[in-house]
């Protein structure tokens, strides 16, 4: 299993441009998550999904959109990039967080710079 994969690894955007960060998992997990991590800080949840067709906001959803058309894929869309969105973005998945012992598996991250 590849686990959780993310593309691209790095990207530089100009202010106002848009892009989609891709995330795919091959573990048949129901739940998927997007986090961002600013320098020296912990991860903050942007959006999450409990299954295909169902998404919900996390702590910091403004400026982002998500969709979940399949179990495997959970893309994150930035419509109008701003310098404040410069960060490292991590995608994660888990089987079922309603189970107390559920753990999340993380992808390698996408480092995004907005200039």
Partner 1 sequence: DAKTTQPPSMDCAEGRAANLPCNHSTISGNEYVYWYRQIHSQGPQYIIHGLKNNETNEMASLIITEDRKSSTLILPHATLRDTAVYYCIVKSSGTASKLTFGTGTRLQVTL
CA distances from 52 to 14, 28, 39, 44, 72 (A): 32, 11, 32, 22, 9
**Token pair listed for 72:** 């495997």
Using the rule CB under 8 A, which residue among 24, 32, 48, 85 binds partner 1? 48
Which one of the spans 7-15, 60-68, 71-79, 93-101 is the region binding partner 1 (CB under 8 A)? 93-101
**What are the C-alpha distances in Å from 37 to residues 4, 18, 95?**
17, 19, 23
Binding to partner 1 by residue 109, rule CB under 8 A? Answer: yes
Residue of the chain from 17, 72, 95, 105 that contacts partner 1 (CB under 8 A)? 105
Q: Is position 13 an interface residue for partner 1 (rule: CB under 8 A)?
A: no
# residues contacting partner 1 (CB under 8 A): 29
Residue from 27, 45, 52, 60 touching partner 1 (CB under 8 A): that is 45
Q: Of the candidates 14, 96, 82, which has an alpha carbon nearest to the alpha carbon of residue 50?
A: 96
8: preceding bond cis by omega (within 30 degrees):
yes
Residues at the site binding partner 1, with contacts judged by CB under 8 A: 4, 33, 35, 40-45, 48, 50, 58, 88, 90, 92, 97-109, 111
């Amino acid at each position: 299993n590849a686990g959780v994969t993310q593309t691209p690894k790095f990207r530089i955007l100009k202010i106002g441009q848009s892009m989609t960060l891709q995330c795919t998992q091959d573990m048949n997990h129901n739940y998927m998550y997007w986090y961002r991590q600013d320098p020296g800080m912990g991860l903050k949840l942007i959006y999450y999904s409990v299954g295909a067709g169902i998404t919900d906001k996390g702590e910091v959803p403004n400026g982002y959109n998500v969709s979940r058309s399949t179990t495997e894929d959970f893309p994150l869309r930035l419509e109008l990039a701003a310098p404040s969105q410069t960060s490292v973005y991590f995608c994660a998945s888990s089987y079922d967080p309603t189970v107390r012992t559920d753990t999340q598996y993380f992808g390698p991250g996408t480092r995004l710079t907005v200039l």
